Structure 1
Amino acid sequence: MKIKRLFTMEGESPYASIEFEKRASVIRDPDGSIVSKWDNVSVPKHWSQVATDILAQKYFRKSGIPKHLKSAKEKGIPDWLQPSLYDKAKDDQEISEADSSAVDTTVSETDAREVFHRLAGCWTYWGYKHNYFDTEEDARAFYDELCHMLANQMAAPNSPQWFNTGLSWAYGLSGPAQGHFFVDPKTEEVMPSKDAYTRPQPHACFIQSVKDDLVRDGGIMDLWTREARLFKYGSGTGSNFSDLRGDAEPLSGGGVSSGLMSFLKIGDSAAGAIKSGGTTRRAAKMICLDADHPDIERFINWKVHEEQKVAALVSGSKTIKRLIKDLFEAIHGWENESEKFDMELNKDLRSVAKASRLASMPFSYVYRIIHLSKQGYTGVLFDEYDTDWNSEAYQTVGGQNSNNSVRLNNSFMQAVEQDKDWNLYWRVEKVKAKKEGREPVPCKKLKATELWDEIAYAAWASADPGIQFDTTINEWHTCPADGPIRASNPCSEYMFLDDTACNLASLNLLQFRDPKTGELDIAKLHHGSRIWTIVLEISVLMAQFPSKNIADLSYKFRTLGLGYANMGTYLMVNGIPYDSAKALAICGAVTSIMHMTSYSTSAEMAKEFGTFSGYEKNKDNMLRVIRNHRRAAFRAPDSEYEGLTIKPVGIDSQHCPPELLKAAQQDANMALKLGEKYGFRNAQVTVIAPTGTIGLLMDCDTTGIEPDFALVKFKKLAGGGYFKIINNSIPPALYKLGYDDSEVSDIGNYIKGHARLDGSPCINANILRTKGFTSEVLKRIEEQLPTAFDISFVFNMYTLGESFCKETLGLSDEQLGDFDFSILKHLGFSSKEIEAANDYICGTMTIEDAPHIKPEHYSVFDCANRCGRKGKRFIAPEAHIRMMAVAQPFISGSISKTINMPNEVNITDIKEALSSSWHYGLKCNALYRDGSKLSQPLNVNVEEYLWDEDEVEGGIAAEKPEQVQIAEKIIHRYIAKRRKLPHRRSGYTQKAVIGGHKLYLRTGEYDDGTIGEIFLDMHKEGAAFRSLMNSFAIAISLGLQHGVPLEEFVEAFIFTRFEPNGMVSGNDSIKMSTSIIDYIFRELAISYLGRNDLAQVNPDELQASAVHTQNKDQPEFDNEQVFSERTLSTEESLAFLEQKESDFEGVDFALLKNSDSKPEQVHAEFTGNSDFGVDTSTESWETQERSPKTLVQEARMKGYEGEACHTCQQFTMVRNGSCLKCASCGATSGCS
């Protein structure tokens, strides 16, 4: 094959036009346990820090590379392309000269060019060795073009390529075989791999078959083993389980089957165990089931029921724990010893026992507590669960380790529309009827609409199952003679025969845009599509596979997965609304160009090397599919399509740019012409994958076919931390729409804020000076503004200084210690003035109502989610479906995309979206309603409505019975009590150095020696980090003063992991910590709770005698002014009270045996968390933080999902296909 140069010059380095620089990158192991910092990572200068970290964290080979290498001198291979071998002689010489066997003779990858060379060189070597290039010059051009494209972020292969490809070729690495297989290209026989590295495993997507057999090869238990091998290497797999017999289906040997679901639970547990074992990401699997399976209803509702169990575990555990505590207190708090255990005489015990019965707590627990109390126990351990995704509650229930999809054929969809019956069949009966040539006898009959309702409700309630349209999928099948397509990979982009695999690569569309005209460079897109089709084809040639059958079929059919990313960004920078006819036409044309160019390249390779093995058997069907692709490019009449029930959406010639339309149609003609003449080398060539991690590596603002998710992004700094920037797409889009420099600047400042006091309305430097603010204080304020989301974050004691607040502003300790106290309001600024200043300084994070912007241009900047606090616009679900519909006719496989829907949609909306997807000709669809998962926090706007005092008081209160209003107001007054600290208080100061960062921890104590406040000082750190630590200390102090036990804080925060961490100096008991927060609560636990188990050095002889007093009297509690009284609906109020009481209940006494004395009172029962939500349970970080100032809600305002990344703990998770992706570290929640 001839390879032309488009980006490089012969004789020049492929990096001639690219400047590289050295950077630092923080590296974490997948489990986050080890943290190291590299100061010599070389990357292209234009790469972001996130892209740098992705390459260094995930894709650099970090160990085991021999320092000394030599050429393999393989016959027939040019010197520049020779494989490398380990040069042991040079190692021995170095060790000998150093006179030490401790010399390290291995190195790691630290330069991006080393990785590019490893990948491009390996592909070129295998291609050259097997005659894919006409000449050595063509091979060199292929290598140079690939290196240039990788360095310029124009394209990237899937993650397994970065992990595995080229390790043997570039570094001579070898290792024991791992049970893989490959096909020898000369003999086409399947052979076992002799070692782990000679042939890489570049495939990410697998589909595996499963037979209705328990233990033999290909059966149920064998599948779990095959899945485990894939999960171990970070790949995903999908299977259709429809062959497994249903519940109570007769067995041939007598008895009945335990049913499909019993086996799915085993597989789910196995996948969960592998996830827990420390793989790079969770086990990713897809479970497909045909709609006529006897267990289909249980399958549809599987996740719904399991999430109900989680809800029951969470609320039940909190309720029972609270009641157990109340029972112990009712018994031991009763003064008359002879009556305390008698329910008839002890009215407190009787009252709690009645409450226990009303709460449906097993009454045996009441008697158990009474018996324990008689034995002298004052408490008992009782686990409390929460809705965190990684919590024990979710680990306890099933169905959490797979994406589930129901396979619906056209017969079912038509039965729904016509309100017909739908039959379910025993599996054996269906097979038997097929053999006998008759219709099977149904085991159950129900209305199709009933099943449709269940699907819609389950998708609405738990985001599963997704839908795969079986008839549509198989009508576009290129190889039906070898069997139907029955399943997909976990993200649903790869759909083909069972026991096959696909390797993926994606083009970054923005890098194929002409920077001068803004239009797509069609010649570059042609070139890129051709080059990367060849890369993927060579990858099939050189690959090894996890099973013999997968190796055989994958080699025979040679399916490829070329796709793209940044479609949403490309549209926005060109000023084209995502939901517009022009955007749809462009998407269709671009997808067609890539797809048909790839098929043309496949036909070109078929001319040279022959077609794939199954082509002749499937020739007529494959050419039929290619003709249908071509017809869609010409938007042919429905009557012209061959063998399609649902006609596709073709390219709209009226709205498509002429040059794109012309190219798409010419490419379609060429692909069909070449295919008819030479056939095809590959059964499939394209998919649209989520491009999760590799999308970040290419600095893509949008992944796959998705729109953007926010207008403000947070750019990562090399030294850590983030700063706020406007979305890169906005300025070029505004220029394209005709706005001038000053208008673009004004709009940008409206969105992201000016980050300065100068020019701010109402609150600026001049006004603040009149109120006593000095230049030094104003400087400290200015330092905080670039990273602030709200100016109230900045105006606090820790930024302004305690002495300034007290002496200049005249604030009291009580005011400064009150989290709800606003310094800005104290200074006389109104809410409207504060809001105006906040919009000017911190920005609105939306373009709505921006200066100069024309309302007709709003749609250009619409995102997948509402933007900022004020944003109301977002892209409608139907628009996502339409965009998928125009791309699907030009994709061999499918499109991995989840349709995001707002929380307020109803079940009818779900049905309409699914039905619309079928009518548009999509192959699959998965819907995600915001907040449908218990583990996901609600949208910030929803929570603000729920906890808006004025609305609740003025609206709902009027509709409630008077007695309920009064009762709830009393309770709210009761829990608003706060335990005041004395004006002169004891405590201690502890200095320590954690990972090279100095920290001062100061405590404040009550007269009885219990802790009431903490202060944290890291004065040499950056302003943003220092402010965050100060705010954290305030939150903890307020929690302590409102009755949150220190024990709860300790359990919540120890073992949290982030930088700085590592060695601790300056503390006699603690020598290592996983973070500053971990250190703080270890120190407090040791000093105040006697938790010596958290110390590395036993502190029994080391503890300083604290300045505690031994006063055991009850501390004074003063009623404070009630700052909110809420009246809610009965359901809301009961949930609120139950949650609050359980969250802030007293310390577990852990079976403390104390038969002689009355249990010491704790004060949690007199306190609760007030409106600002100081709550330390794991759940609170996700669902109970009511203020928009919390991490979760900040994340939602930024456009993120509001969930913490399981790897780096940042709240920067974005939806990516059917999974979540972390925009900070690249970790994913699935296979994307």
Structure 2
Amino acid sequence: MGNQNTSLKNLGIPPLPEGLPSISLTDNSIQVLTKRYVRRGENGEPAETIDEMFWRVAYHVALAEEMYNGQVENTAKDFYQLMSLKLFFPNSPTFTGAGTPLGQLAACFVLPISDDMGKKSTGIFQTLRDAALIQQTGGGNGFSFSRLRPKGTIVKSSSGQATGPVGFLRVYDHAFGEVAQGGSRRGANMATLRIDHPDIEDFICCKTNENSITNFNISVGITDEFMQAVINDTDWDLVYPDLTSPLCKDFDGDADTARRKGLPMKVFKTVRARDLFQKIVEQAHHNGEPGVLFIDQANRYNPVPNLYQLESTNPCGEQWLGPYENCCLGSINLAQHTLEDGSVDWKKLEKTTILATRFLDDVIDMNAYVPAVPQLEIAAHKARRIGLGIMGLADLMFSAGIRYGSETGQEFASQIMEFVRFHSMKTSIQLAKERGSFPAISGSIYDPEKITWEIPQPLKPYTHHWNRPDIDWNEILQGIAKNGIRNAAQTTIAPTGTIATVTGCEGYGCEPAFALAYIRHMNDNGKDVQLSYASPLFEKALLRSGLTAQEISELVDLIMESGTCQNLEKVPQNIRDVFVVSSDISAEEHVRMQAALQAFVDNSLSKTVNFPAGTKPDEVAAAYQLAWELGCKGITVYVTGSREKVVLETRSTAEKKTDTSTQLLPMISVAEKEEEPQIPLWHESKKPRPRALRGFTYRSETPLGRAFITINENGGNQPFEVFINTAKAGSETSAISEAIGRLISFTLRLSSPVEPVRRLGEVEKQLRDIGGGRSLGFGPGRVRSLPDGLAQVLAEYMEERLERITQISNNPVTVPSENSTSRETERVKSPMLKIGDLCPECGQASVINEEGCRKCYSCGYSEC
């Protein structure tokens, strides 16, 4: 403990006070926390305990109270308990940066890009430099490329042709790939282009081949005018300011800015709006990108139109931000706000919201930002945006007995978010009274002299109560008029990949639960330990229904195969009605849940609308239209199995598709087209290599000498890579051996519906019996060449592998796991449920698309 206390002292943080509660965590949560957030010393070992880590964060953030004559020690204790009781967690950078020399506490930024190569501070390469510095601190970036002139237009200063937005997007992508090589985690990025930009068609398809752009999510900024053109089946002009006009000589903006200034425009191309929309739909149907951002809807709720028009979002789409702005994010854990009967603990939720809002406002003052980019701190303090959100909504609905996606569920989610928004705003008004309003309040929608902010309304009148205390929105209006408000934006629902894993939430962010049971993998000193996870809330419900422990165990084993209980008659109907997972919910229900929450979120939210395999493009189009009509600010879709890179496969058929969802956009004649085959997936990138792999090394005597052949396995006992060592390094034989090994490894790591061991079998067939200049040995043991010797080793490996799997399958071992609050038992039984892509950290096939992000259900890895 002495070393840890010394570490805190070196950071200027006092020791952890006695009497504060320790956090209760599962083994998996402890592993994730230790790996991600706990500070390490020069020897690489933890320099603080988990409790001290929470204290470091709480105390550092509470230091902001000194600026306002507050009580640092008492506030720090309150913040500590807020986190240690798992009521609220800030975003990951706050955990890693608070109280450390890095000091950068924000997760996401938006940077402006001007159509300039070097004169302006917002020029293409100056912005690239700023973005790289942010990425070094672990932050992600969003950009609008809409201000860049179209590809091929003449540049007067050089008489050359412009590269265009997609060309510079590739430049940025390559640069960030290089930055990632020197960092511990690659920062995420978002690229946005307006629907009226002349290069929009190239942009929509720029990630058809995912090898070309790998460090960006992409989204199209869609306007109301374009959606009306789609509905009315009219033409659509692709335009850009007329740079040949003297009026545009010093112009810096996109088409929308030029129009508002009355500048002359040049029409580059006229297309049918439906054809352009269809291109977006088909590409998203193919691999989930581009996403769609409803840019006019975002600007209707822009709190500071006096500063800027919104053009882009952060990497996961939940944060619309102005130039150089960031947002400090945090999430209330709804799973910890229930009473014994499963109903909502409204008093506790109110208290948590109040304290969490103060916490996030303090983060703004304690954030070190990136000193080399001073615009970041200026922008942050001008509007003082915070993003208070939720996680564990699905858990709360399980406890309350409400089906996610149902009309009742939509209203319940809306009422929860309204309650959080109300008390966050009320707290922000109180903070304004104590500390002053955000500096840019004059001219904003919250200007006390001329309030244009409108009281948010639910999509439908409420019909339920759930014992929620009454709230009076007029109290908020009166408070703003009297005191102003501290934060220009207050709420966001962000991805919660890592923090939700730590808190043990079954539903990340505002998403439904992904599966009721699945296999979780842990690395125990190089040993892959397979933990069988089952929803503790589901098991409690089964116990209350009268089922025995044995019956529950048998049901859970069946659910392991699909993730859902909907096809199991032994599960009581009332439980099946409540315990739905993502694949049980129709696309329309997903969209309506998003819209119900959006009504009381002043920024936006990260959510993925999951479609079942077999979904047609017109169903995706219908979801887009519905999201726009219901007031969503963006939408991300994913069709199960649409790309091998992110396979979200937890059931073989979709049982919850609704007929109405395909009728929302009848004017688009997608169904009349001949059905085209799915685009082949041979362009997919290779799977990432985990840090540690288990392998088998064989010795083989060949005509070229002794060879050592190593075959490493990844998740599911599948071959992952092959190494061949022969002769001395630098020789031709060594070079050829290395080349063969690399080609085999590349073949094994390519995304493909053909499992790796079958691919290795095909390799073995191709290498078998290749003859060389001489042979070694006689009879069955004869080796005709190095490739033939390799083939014999591969055959031996595959036979031994089959024996291992057969032995394990016939002798399953179940060992209870200690310190688990849910049903987690060590299992070495195959086969297991494959739920996604290979994880770059643990190597398991459990990375899925959720919350507009990618995360691993095995180890807790998250790209967000």
The interval holding the TM-score normalised by the smaller chain is 0.7 to 0.9
| Residue equivalent to 2:424 | 598
CA apart distance, 1:427: 3.8
Residue 503 in structure 1 maps to residue 124 in structure 2: no
1:1053 equivalenced with 2:857 (yes/no)? no
Q: Which residue of 1 aligns with 2:618?
A: 908
Kept in 2, the 8 Å contact 1:597–1:671? The answer is no
CA distance in 2, matches of 1:937, 1:619: 43
Pick the aligned partner of 1:659 from 432, 442, 467.
467
1:296 is matched with: 200
Q: Which residue of 2 aligns with 1:679?
A: 484
Query: Would you say 1:877 and 2:587 are equivalent positions?
Result: yes
Matched, 1:571 2:403: no
| Aligned position for 2:846 | 1212
Contact 2:387 2:489 in 1 (8 A): yes
Give runs of aligned pairs for residues 1148-1167 of structure 1, distance below 5 A: 1160=785
**Structural mapping, 1:59-74, within 5 Å:** 59-63=37-41
Alignment of 1:961-1000 (within 5 A): none
State whether residues 646 and 848 of structure 2, in contact with CA within 8 Å, keep that contact through their aligned partners in structure 1.
Answer: no
Q: Which amino acid aligns with 1:853?
A: V
Distance 1:699 1:303, change over 3 A: same
Does residue 460 (structure 1) correspond to residue 170 (structure 2)? The answer is no
CA distance in 1, matches of 2:265, 2:829: 53
Distance 1:574 1:413 in 2: 38
SS of the equivalent of 2:599 reads helix
Deviations 1:643-689 (CA, angstroms, capped at 9, x unpaired)? xxxxxx25x421x32422x44x33x3332221122111111111001
Within a 5 Å distance, the mapping from 1:1188-1207 to structure 2 comes to 1201-1207=835-841
* Deviations 1:1007-1054 (CA, angstroms, capped at 9, x unpaired): x989xxxxxxxxxxxxxxxxxxxxxxxxxxxxxxxxxxx99x947529
Match of 1:405 in 2: 219
Helix, strand or coil: the match of 2:237?
Answer: strand
Alpha-carbon deviation of 1:1163? Answer: 6.1
TM-score (norm 1): 0.55
TM-score w.r.t. length of structure 2: 0.76
Q: Distance in 1 between matches of 2:833 and 2:718?
A: 28
Aligned partners of 1:709 and 1:864 also within 8 Å: yes
Partner residue in 2 for 1:748: 552
- One of 620, 628, 635 as aligned partner of 1:918: 628
- Contact 2:311/2:322, CA 8 A, preserved across alignment: yes
Are positions 1:119 and 2:53 aligned together?
Answer: no
Match of 1:712 in 2: 517
Is the CA contact (8 Å cut-off) linking 1:1053 and 1:1081 kept in structure 2?
Answer: yes
Q: Deviations over 1:33-77 (max 9, x none)?
A: xxxxxxxxxxx3x3111211122111111116xxxxxxxxxxxxx
Give the Cα separation in 1 of the matches to 2:261 and 2:401.
Answer: 61
Question: What is residue 731 of structure 1 aligned with on the other side?
Answer: 539
Q: Aligned residue for 2:861?
A: 1227
Separation in structure 2 between the aligned mates of residue 445 and residue 263 of structure 1, nearest angstrom: 24
Q: Secondary structure at the match of 2:439?
A: coil
Residues 473-517 of structure 1, C-alpha deviations (whole Å, 9 max, x = no match): 111111111111110000111112121011111111011112x22
Question: Which of 144, 168, 173 is matched with 1:268 structurally?
Answer: 173
In structure 1, the residue matched to 2:162 is 257
Superposed displacement of residue 597, structure 1: 1.0
Q: Tell me, in whole angstroms, the C-alpha distance in 2 between the residues paired with 1:17 and 1:851.
A: 47
Unpaired segments of 5 or more residues in structure 1? 1-12, 21-43, 65-103, 168-195, 308-393, 636-648, 754-838, 866-873, 944-994, 1011-1045, 1059-1074, 1099-1131, 1177-1188
- The C-alpha deviation readout for 1:1175-1205, integer Å capped at 9, x for no partner, is 99xxxxxxxxxxxx9xxxx999977632221
Q: Write the distance in 2 (CA, Å) between the matches of 1:881 and 1:680.
A: 31
Select the structure that is richer in strand.
2
Distance change in 2, residues 1:697/1:725 (3 Å): closer
State the SS of the aligned residue for 1:595: helix
Deviations 1:582-609 (A, max 9, x none): 2111111111111121111111111122
Residue 419 and residue 622 in structure 1: after superposition, are their counterparts in 2 closer, same or farther (change >3 A)?
A: farther
The structural deviation recorded for 1:879 is: 1.2
Q: Deviations over 1:1072-1111 (max 9, x none)?
A: xxx9999x987xx56xxx46669xxx9xxxxxxxxxxxxx
- 8 Å CA contact 1:903–1:932 kept in 2: the answer is yes
Identity within the alignment, %: 24
Cα shift at 1:1167: 11
Distance 1:258 1:400 in 2: 19
User: Which residue of 2 is the match for residue 214 of structure 1?
Assistant: 117
Structure 2 residues not aligned, in runs of 5+: 1-15, 249-257, 654-691, 735-752, 776-782, 802-811, 813-827
Does the 8 Å CA contact 1:1144/1:1165 hold for their aligned counterparts? no
The 5 A counterparts of 1:224-235 are 224-235=128-139
Q: Post-superposition shift, 1:252?
A: 3.0
Provide closer, same or farther for how the CA distance between residues 1160 and 131 of structure 1 changes in structure 2, counting only shifts above 3 A. Answer: closer
- Whether 1:525 aligns to 2:349 is yes
Distance 2:574 2:401 in 1: 11
Counterpart residue number, 1:203: 106
Q: How far did 1:284 drift?
A: 0.7
Q: What is the rounded CA distance, in whole Å, between the counterparts of 2:35 and 2:634 in structure 1?
A: 33
CA distance in structure 2 between the aligned counterparts of 1:1002 and 1:243, rounded to whole angstroms: 56
Cα distance in 2 between the residues matched to 1:409 and 1:435: 15
Classify 1:520/1:716 alpha carbon distance in 2 versus 1 (closer, same or farther; 3 Å).
farther
Residues 1188-1223 of structure 1: per-residue CA shift (max 9 Å, x gap): x9xxxx999977632221012133323332221123
**CA distance in structure 1 between the aligned counterparts of 2:577 and 2:729, rounded to whole angstroms:** 58
Q: Is the 8 A contact 1:49 1:716 kept in 2?
A: no
Indicate the SS of the match to 1:202.
Answer: coil
Q: 1:477–1:625: 8 Å Cα contact kept in structure 2?
A: no
Q: 1:486 to 1:132 in 2, by over 3 A?
A: farther
Aligned to 1:418: 232
Q: How far 1:425 sits from its partner (Å)?
A: 1.0
What's the offset of the Cα at 1:941? Answer: 6.5
- Bigger Cα displacement from structure 2, 927-936 vs 466-475: 927-936
The separation in 2 between residues aligned to 1:459 and 1:881, in whole angstroms, is 16
Q: Give 1:1226 shift.
A: 2.7
Q: What is the match of residue 147 of structure 1?
A: 80
Structure 1 distance, partners of 2:534, 2:436, is 51
**Per-residue CA distance 1:522-546 (angstroms, 9 max, x = gap):** 1111111111111111111122222
Q: Which residue of 1 aligns with 2:367?
A: 543
Structure 2 CA distance for aligned equivalents of residues 532 and 1148 of structure 1: 69
SS at match of 1:302: coil
Which residue does 1:470 correspond to in 2? 295
The equivalent position to 1:859 in structure 2, one of 548, 573, 577, is 577
Residue 109 in structure 1 maps to residue 47 in structure 2: yes
What is the root-mean-square deviation of aligned Cα atoms in Å?
4.3
Cα offset for 1:734?
4.6
Letter aligned with residue 235 of structure 1: G
Query: Secondary structure of the equivalent of 1:926?
Result: strand
Superposition pairs of residues 168-183 of structure 1, within 5 angstroms: none
Q: Is the 8 A contact 1:749 1:843 kept in 2?
A: no
8 Å Cα contact 1:290/1:407 also seen in 2: yes
3-state SS, counterpart of residue 895 of structure 1: coil
Write out aligned runs for 1:638-1037 (5 A). 649-650=459-460, 652-654=461-463, 656-660=464-468, 662-663=469-470, 665-666=471-472, 668-714=473-519, 721-734=529-542, 739-740=544-545, 742-743=546-547, 745=549, 748-753=552-557, 846-848=564-566, 850=568, 853-855=571-573, 857-865=575-583, 874-937=584-647, 939=649
Matches within 5 A, 1:424-435: 424-429=238-243, 432=248, 434=259
* 1:215 Cα offset (Å): 2.4
2:494–2:606 Cα contact (<8 Å) kept: yes
Over alpha carbons, which structure has the higher Rg?
1
Distance 1:1076 1:705, change over 3 A: closer
Alpha-carbon spacing, 1:261–1:1140, altered in 2? closer, same or farther (3 Å): farther
Paired with 1:1148 and 1:118, the residues of 2 have a C-alpha distance of 64
CA deviations on 1:948-968 (whole Å, 9 max, x unpaired) are: xxxxxxxxxxxxxxxxxxxxx
Quote the offset at 1:914 in angstroms. Answer: 0.9
CA distance in structure 1 between the aligned counterparts of 2:171 and 2:286, rounded to whole angstroms: 24
Residues 242 and 266 of structure 2 are in contact (CA less than 8 Å); yes or no, is this contact kept in structure 1?
A: no
Say whether the 8 Å CA contact 1:242–1:290 is kept in structure 2.
Answer: yes
Shift in CA distance, 287/1050, structure 1 to aligned 2, threshold 3 Å: farther
